[in-house]
Amino acid sequence: MKNRLFYQSRLARPELDRAEGIYLWAKDGKRYLDGSSGAMVSNIGHSNPAVLQAMREQMEKSTFGYRLHFQTEASERLANKTAALCPEELGRVFFVSGGSEAVESTLKLARQYALTRGEAQRYKVISRMPSYHGSTLGALAVTGYAPLAAPFSPMMREMPKIPAPRAYLDGLDPDDPATGKHYADMLEQTILDEGPQTVLAFIVEPVGGASTGALVPPAGYMQRIREICDDYGVLLIHDEVMSGGGRTGKFWGAEHWGTVPDLISISKGFGGGYVPLGAMIARDDIVEAVLDAGGFAHGHTYAGNPLACAAGLAVIDEIERQDLTGNAAAMGDKLKARLNALKNRFPFIGDVRGKGLLLAFELVSDRTTMQPLPKELGAFDRLVNIAYDKGLIIYSRRTRGGISGDHFLVCPPMIVTEPQIDEIMALLTEALDEFA
């Protein structure tokens, strides 16, 4: 029978039968350990009974109420809960169905806010290279990942990019505040070069996701970019689509540095793999100004649907009830130490980085120069496939702007236990032995 379904490539994978905890089973009975929580989504694990029960209860009441016709208890409760987890200034929540939509929403709200202030000339959104902010055209315009954007460049407005602070490649000490300042100064310089009156916002992943491989900002960086944004009236957007929701060992990635943005995007672990769900969280005064000026010219049909919101609320309840954020911090420390220890056995592991259970390792051909593996080796696909055959799922991306270099995210669900970390490490070591 002809396969009618398609995604981005011809990659064929087995059919999924069921999933529970940190494991998934294919139809042929083979078990896979979800070492990347899908794409860093299934943060509380699969088939959590409390979430399934909350969804059942909501389904019995209603599964959809169009937002222009009804408020729903589920969406109001999730908005209140989400706002309560945010810094005080960020009190307003706008629901969407995924990460790209959440980022698009931040860009559009920022732009409308500038218009309300009579700053129509502000439209440029500075972002970092590499970075990932989504695949829709607006989010793609600020995504620093050239191969994804190139085919669509005539359809998008080019936005300014600054280098992501990859101190490990530049031979700089990430713990030295001078390093943070060095990279943050690039933001200030770019604002000056572009003309401060034209710059609308700066968007940053507090802990990097797929494109930088769990990049942790150097000391002082997050604080300094906040100051620079304030100095030039530029809005600061934290894209917490991946880092939000507890995975880094704090509910928000940026909590590690105590910095407060003007707008936040979240998705992935917010719906936890139970429902498509995302949100933009915004400063109260920004929302008030835009609503006063006639309204926010943006919205998606499925926004705030009660089933998604009931599931999202149950996901946060489970994170709190089981202290999964605390477990992500504790298990993340153990897993990171074990990944670092692999460097002794495998000289081609160049760097191990990340926070909590948002962790990655990067393969290089030479650890002293940090030169990437030759592209022809195809390490990117090969290691993932070896691990997959052994029943371990890890997530990979080509780094270095998509030119060469390979990093692999090891991000199991936040419910992971120490014996399960042993299991991940045993499978990963076997896979690396075969890869070597």
Using the rule CB under 6 A, which residue among 133, 226, 238, 353 binds ligand PLP? Answer: 133
What's the closest the beta carbon of residue 268 comes to ligand PLP, in angstroms?
6
User: What x/- string results for residues 75 through 94 when contact with ligand PLP is judged by CB under 6 A?
Assistant: --------------------
Residue closer to ligand PLP, measured from CB, 100 or 420:
100
Give the DSSP letter of residue 397. E
Contact call for residue 100 and ligand PLP (CB under 6 A): yes
* Pairing mode of beta strands 395-398, 371-372: unpaired
DSSP-assigned states of every residue in 294-310: T------TTTT-HHHHH
Contact call for residue 271 and ligand PLP (CB under 6 A): no
Contact call for residue 244 and ligand PLP (CB under 6 A): no
262: nearest Cα among 271, 254, 272, 270: 254
Give the DSSP letter of residue 150. G
* Ordered alpha helix ranges (H), 19-65: 37-40, 49-61
What's the closest the beta carbon of residue 209 comes to ligand PLP, in angstroms?
4
Contact call for residue 245 and ligand PLP (CB under 6 A): no
Question: Can you tell me the distance from the alpha carbon of 285 to that of 65, in angstroms, rounded to the nearest whole number?
Answer: 28
Region from 14-22, 78-86, 235-243, 339-347 binding ligand PLP, contact rule CB under 6 A: 235-243
Contact call for residue 103 and ligand PLP (CB under 6 A): yes
Using the rule CB under 6 A, which residue among 23, 95, 113, 132 binds ligand PLP? Answer: 132
Question: 230: helix, coil or strand?
Answer: helix
Residues 372-431, interacting with ligand PLP (CB under 6 A): none
Give the CA radius of gyration of the chain. 21
Residue closer to ligand PLP, measured from CB, 111 or 128:
128
Tokens of 51: 């979430």
Contact call for residue 98 and ligand PLP (CB under 6 A): yes
* Pairing mode of beta strands 124-129, 161-163: parallel
Non-local (6+) Cβ contacts of 27 within 8 A are: 14, 15, 16, 17
Question: 167: helix, coil or strand?
Answer: helix
What's the closest the beta carbon of residue 216 comes to ligand PLP, in angstroms?
14
Tokens of 365: 């051909």
Residues 198-217, interacting with ligand PLP (CB under 6 A): 205, 209-210
Residue closer to ligand PLP, measured from CB, 245 or 249:
245
Q: Cα–Cα distances in Å, from 165 out to 48, 246, 364?
A: 37, 23, 18
| Dihedrals phi, psi of 72, to nearest 5 degrees | -130, 150
Residue closer to ligand PLP, measured from CB, 100 or 248:
100
Residue closer to ligand PLP, measured from CB, 216 or 431:
216
What's the closest the beta carbon of residue 278 comes to ligand PLP, in angstroms?
6
What's the closest the beta carbon of residue 390 comes to ligand PLP, in angstroms?
25
Contact call for residue 267 and ligand PLP (CB under 6 A): yes
Residue 155 φ/ψ region, left for φ over 0, alpha for ψ in the -120 to 50 degree band, beta for the rest? alpha
419: nearest Cα among 334, 339, 321: 334
408: nearest Cα among 421, 428, 422, 394: 394
Number of residues that bind ligand PLP (CB under 6 A): 15
Question: Can you tell me the distance from the alpha carbon of 274 to that of 44, in angstroms, rounded to the nearest whole number?
Answer: 10
Greatest Cα pair distance in the chain: 62
Region from 68-76, 237-245, 256-264, 349-357 binding ligand PLP, contact rule CB under 6 A: 237-245
Q: Which residue number has the CB closest to ligand PLP?
A: 99
What's the closest the beta carbon of residue 61 comes to ligand PLP, in angstroms?
27
Residues 289-308, interacting with ligand PLP (CB under 6 A): none
What's the closest the beta carbon of residue 336 comes to ligand PLP, in angstroms?
20
Region from 44-52, 58-66, 131-139, 250-258 binding ligand PLP, contact rule CB under 6 A: 131-139
What's the closest the beta carbon of residue 28 comes to ligand PLP, in angstroms?
28
Contact call for residue 241 and ligand PLP (CB under 6 A): yes
391: nearest Cα among 419, 346, 430, 337: 430
Contact call for residue 95 and ligand PLP (CB under 6 A): no
CA 196 to chain centre: 28
Contact call for residue 144 and ligand PLP (CB under 6 A): no
Question: Can you tell me the distance from the alpha carbon of 126 to that of 283, in angstroms, rounded to the nearest whole number?
Answer: 20
Contact call for residue 58 and ligand PLP (CB under 6 A): no
What's the closest the beta carbon of residue 285 comes to ligand PLP, in angstroms?
25
What's the closest the beta carbon of residue 41 comes to ligand PLP, in angstroms?
8
Q: Are 398 and 405 in contact (CB under 8 A)?
A: yes
Interface positions with ligand PLP (CB under 6 A): 39, 98-100, 103, 132-134, 205, 209-210, 239, 241-242, 267
